[in-house]
A and B are shown apart, each in its own frame.
Chain A
Amino acid sequence: MGVIKKSSNEKSQSLKQILTDKIIYIVLLVLIIAIVCIEPRFLSIANFKNILAQSSTRIIIALAAGMVLMVRGCDLSAGRMIGLAAVVSASMLQTASYAYRMYPKLPELPIIVPILVVVILCAVFGSISGICVAFLKVPPIIATLAMQLILYGASSIYFDREPYGAQPIGGITSRLTNICIRNIKLGPVQIPYLIIIAAVVVLVMWILWNKTKFGKYMYAIGGNPEAAQVSGVNVNQILVCVYSLAAIMYAIAAVLEVGRIGSASNTTGNGYEMDAIASCVVGGVSMSGGIGSVGGIVIGVLIFTVINYGLSFIGVNMYWQYIVKGLIIALAVIIDMRKFAKRQ
């Protein structure tokens, strides 16, 4: 800190400022270059597409978690919400010919039906979290931690029962899996449907955050809830909406996960909330609320996928990958804190 302080030269100061602001990207660039040096084949269109496709559902989840962070919240129930939505939707999406059907007599439903069911289900649970936070003033971490446990219990009860017990719900209809693993042909390139879906969600979110009253109110509540209240913002109502909307996005992500993996169990989505929150933090969302952008979150998710994918690609041990991820999260928060602690 002393070095920055004593430099009186305006130019070097601003250069240092930029370096501090962008250090996370620089570190990642170095990491990618290192990966490429070790394994030049990493640079290929196929890998690029894989990274984007793997990021798709994570982006949706991270944007939802990011919304909650923006309003000074923190949603620990994301992963379990996805787990519940996954088992419920999977149980309604099994092909009629599959041997171990959860509901043997259920006709094959149009896929919009299970989607609507889980969207509504999650919205109800999400709004309960929201009501606890907004009206009952329960600290968000506690409210969503409680919700996490309740959801895990509920999804396990739903999942682990006679006659087949705790075995993954498989035999998912190809009408869903096709969407989640197939490509669409755009000119000469094949683009996975998942990327298109994620892109649409990102666009809708960008509009919501930046161009609507709801978005501005989110920033206002995150920035200063008391001032927002005085300015005529219905703070509690917006909070409940944010938690519900986040839950709806988890539900959509869950259905896509079911299609991508081809099965679901009560462990589907395990730990996703931590990945989502970490991506938000790396993407510049402030843990104290009010600061963050859709673009930043997307970049945050991509960074994590690149690390995951890249390190696996060059054969780095799984356990080492955890350590690298942890260090990056710590680095991101240290930078975040420094940016806001000392306003030069």
Chain B
Amino acid sequence: MAQEYILEMLNISKSFPGVKALDDVTLKVKPATVHSLMGENGAGKSTLMKCLFGIYSHDEGKILFDGKEINFENPAEALKNHVSMVHQELNQVLDRSVMENIWLGRYPMKGCFVDEQTMYSETKRIFDELDINVDPKIKAGALQVAQRQMVEIAKAVSCDARIIVMDEPTSSLTENEVEHLFVIIEKLKQKGVSVIYISHKMEEIFKISNEITVMRDGKWVITQDKADLNADLIIKMMVGRDLTERYPKRTIKIGDEILKVTNLGTAKPVFKGINFELHKGEILGIAGLVGAKRTEVLETIFGIREKGEGEIIYNGKKINNRNPKEALKNGFAMLTEERRKDGIFTDLSVSFNFIIANLNLYMQHGLLNEQKISQVVNESIRKMHVKTSSDKIKIGNLSGGNQQKVILGRWLLTNPNILLLDEPTRGIDVGAKYEIYQLMNQLVSEGKSIIIVSSEMSELLGVCDRILVMSNGHQSGIFDASSTTQYQIMEASAKYI
């Protein structure tokens, strides 16, 4: 007899030194359904999944798969038993072909040789089945992130996966790509596969879920049919309080011009012809599709990327930020897009991560003063609402939202006049987002200016004064946030494509 649930994680608890990460959490997934898992960062979603895959061992509770108790030692064993995960950060051998990536570790063999032909035809068959349009022989590194994700899903299918966990799969996809992903998820469902879908994006959740489980602070809150829930209700359960508005109100007080960028372009042709002014107390948004070169504009202003033509005029003076050090000295600071890659020092302490960009603050007689450091860091932890047991623990042990707050705090300690934020709320839960918006408002009310790049259009419309739209390396317009619409911005984003 078929089981009612394909996967049951019953009363799971897991403690780390000093924190109870999971407290009696239960998750039951029905066959051939999409089960969404929601919660703020730090709510324990990832920890729960890591317990499933044996990356962590749970202290209490048991896991049933198809009615039988299981306890995987590692992700490889889970995969062998038809439980698979498509990671937020993709682990692929970029220099090898797509099909080799799919069959890595279990190549089809002909005698003692790898059977390339079977490998190709099998890959092709799965790709056709899932409507994936990728040449199995192309190098994985040549693919876009979205395509690589599809390849990961195909890999799961090739292992006969009965459960696929998708952790924030759409965080770097364009809308078309998201549509395609949903088509594939639909096909997986038809094949009898269950999907555990972790995301913060409410629209997506309501579009594809059958059931939704909400977690908060390591505890299970509710599991319900999608039909019985709505976005407000979920947000309320996730944060444990009412969020009356998604974007905090602020009194706008725009001052003199502080930055003027004319005809800016890169040395190697990446983008060109960027023109804008920024005033004290203003938040300028940069909108555009993936590949519009928004990040590159910020990088050029901050000196990470070599400037070509054009001028940057700061406080009436022409400046050249040739490297980040010079930019910092000129009163700029930049929160980069990929927190793991060039934001955090994973193995170093929270304290270290706070202070590193401005050590001059703590110098006394030529040496660093521990007392001053600890005082400033603890004040920052309080101000930024960072949830951590101490300033001495490794930042890698904090949740994504809290890491982001630490890095933002690092930049604020440099006391910048212009803050460049690149996707500051990506992969961050609703509560932490709201806190970051509040912080931004507080900063502009102190007369600082912010340029923010975001892929969430509603976010830009909610927090910015003006929005610069980029399209394929060109500037396609600047709009007043209070009077423009999503439609206008979309139209401008597609102007040069």
Q: From B2-10, B35-43, B109-117, B337-345, give the one contacting chain A.
A: B337-345
Query: Inside 8 A of A290's CB, which chain B residues have their CB?
Result: 345, 347-348
Among A2, A213, A231, A340, which residue has its beta carbon within 8 angstroms of that of B324?
A231
Does any Cβ of B come within 8 Å of A114's Cβ? no
Query: Inside 8 A of A231's CB, which chain B residues have their CB?
Result: 324, 356-357, 410
Query: Inside 8 A of A2's CB, which chain B residues have their CB?
Result: 73
Does any Cβ of B come within 8 Å of A296's Cβ? no
A1 vs B73: C-alpha distance when bound (angstroms): 9
The smallest beta-carbon distance between B399 and chain A, in angstroms, is: 15
A343 vs B398: C-alpha distance when bound (angstroms): 13
Does any Cβ of A come within 8 Å of B269's Cβ? no
B352 adjacent to A216 (CB under 8 Å): yes
B73 adjacent to A232 (CB under 8 Å): no
Does any Cβ of B come within 8 Å of A312's Cβ? no
Complex: chain A residue closest to B17, CB-CB: A14
Complex: chain A residue closest to B334, CB-CB: A230
Interface residues as binary, A211-231 with B (CB distance below 8 Å gives 1, 0 otherwise): 111001001100110111111
Q: From A3-11, A20-28, A326-334, give the one contacting chain B.
A: A3-11
The smallest beta-carbon distance between A5 and chain B, in angstroms, is: 5
Does any Cβ of B come within 8 Å of A291's Cβ? yes
Question: Taking chain A's interface residues, is the majority helix, strand, or loop, or is none over half, making it mixed?
Answer: helix
A231 vs B357: C-alpha distance when bound (angstroms): 5
Among A211, A229, A291, A343, which residue has its beta carbon within 8 angstroms of that of B367?
A211
The smallest beta-carbon distance between A290 and chain B, in angstroms, is: 6
A1 vs B344: C-alpha distance when bound (angstroms): 29
The smallest beta-carbon distance between A241 and chain B, in angstroms, is: 15
Among A8, A219, A226, which residue has its beta carbon within 8 angstroms of that of B352?
A219
Among A6, A10, A224, which residue has its beta carbon within 8 angstroms of that of B342?
A224
Q: From B54-62, B96-104, B159-167, B253-261, give the one contacting chain A.
A: B54-62
| A230 and B336 in contact, given A223-B345, A224-B344 (Cβ under 8 angstroms) | yes
A224 adjacent to B345 (CB under 8 Å): yes
B342 adjacent to A229 (CB under 8 Å): yes
| A8 and B60 in contact, given A213-B363, A216-B359, A224-B346 (Cβ under 8 angstroms) | yes
Query: Inside 8 A of A317's CB, which chain B residues have their CB?
Result: none
Query: Inside 8 A of B327's CB, which chain A residues have their CB?
Result: 232
Complex: chain A residue closest to B333, CB-CB: A232
Complex: chain A residue closest to B329, CB-CB: A232
Interface size class of B (residues with CB under 8 A): 35 or more
Interface residues as binary, A198-217 with B (CB distance below 8 Å gives 1, 0 otherwise): 00000000010011110010
A2 vs B74: C-alpha distance when bound (angstroms): 11
Complex: chain A residue closest to B344, CB-CB: A227
**Chain A: interface residue total (CB-CB under 8 A):** 31
A343 adjacent to B345 (CB under 8 Å): no
A8 adjacent to B345 (CB under 8 Å): no
A8 adjacent to B59 (CB under 8 Å): yes
B73 adjacent to A5 (CB under 8 Å): yes
B304 adjacent to A6 (CB under 8 Å): no
Query: Inside 8 A of A212's CB, which chain B residues have their CB?
Result: 366-368
A230 adjacent to B347 (CB under 8 Å): no
Interface residues as binary, B315-340 with A (CB distance below 8 Å gives 1, 0 otherwise): 00000000111011100001010000
A207 vs B370: C-alpha distance when bound (angstroms): 12
Among A226, A233, A343, which residue has its beta carbon within 8 angstroms of that of B341?
A226
Among B342, B346, B357, B363, which residue has its beta carbon within 8 angstroms of that of A226?
B342
Complex: chain A residue closest to B60, CB-CB: A8
Complex: chain A residue closest to B299, CB-CB: A230
Does any Cβ of A come within 8 Å of B442's Cβ? no
Complex: chain B residue closest to A236, CB-CB: B323
Interface residues as binary, A278-299 with B (CB distance below 8 Å gives 1, 0 otherwise): 0000000000001100000000
Does any Cβ of B come within 8 Å of A234's Cβ? yes
B54, B56, B345, B414: most-surrounded residue (chain A CB, <10 A): B345
Complex: chain B residue closest to A291, CB-CB: B347
A206 vs B366: C-alpha distance when bound (angstroms): 15
Complex: chain B residue closest to A237, CB-CB: B325
Interface residues as binary, B374-393 with A (CB distance below 8 Å gives 1, 0 otherwise): 00000000000000000000
A220 adjacent to B356 (CB under 8 Å): yes
Query: Inside 8 A of A216's CB, which chain B residues have their CB?
Result: 352, 355-356, 359, 368
Among A10, A210, A220, A234, which residue has its beta carbon within 8 angstroms of that of B345?
A220
Among A207, A223, A232, which residue has its beta carbon within 8 angstroms of that of B346?
A223
Residues 252 to 278 of chain B near chain A (Cβ within 8 Å): none
Does any Cβ of A come within 8 Å of B447's Cβ? no
B368 adjacent to A223 (CB under 8 Å): no
B348 adjacent to A211 (CB under 8 Å): no
A223 adjacent to B341 (CB under 8 Å): no
A14 vs B59: C-alpha distance when bound (angstroms): 13
A115 vs B325: C-alpha distance when bound (angstroms): 36
A207 vs B355: C-alpha distance when bound (angstroms): 18
| A6 and B368 in contact, given A226-B341, A290-B348 (Cβ under 8 angstroms) | no
Residues 155 to 186 of chain A near chain B (Cβ within 8 Å): none
B343 adjacent to A232 (CB under 8 Å): no
A232 vs B304: C-alpha distance when bound (angstroms): 10
Does any Cβ of B come within 8 Å of A97's Cβ? no
Given contacts A219-B348, A232-B358, 6 further A-B contacts (CB under 8 A): A220-B356, A227-B341, A230-B342, A232-B325, A290-B345, A343-B396
- Can you name 17 A-B residue pairings with CB atoms under 8 Å? A8-B57, A207-B367, A216-B352, A216-B355, A216-B368, A220-B345, A224-B345, A227-B344, A230-B304, A232-B328, A233-B325, A290-B348, A291-B347, A340-B347, A343-B396, A344-B56, A344-B57
Chain A residues proximal to chain B, CB less than 8 Å = 1-2, 5-6, 8, 10, 14, 207, 210-213, 216, 219-220, 223-224, 226-234, 290-291, 340, 343-344
**What 8 A-B pairs are tightest by C-beta distance, nearest first?**
A226-B342, A223-B345, A232-B328, A231-B357, A211-B367, A232-B325, A5-B57, A213-B359
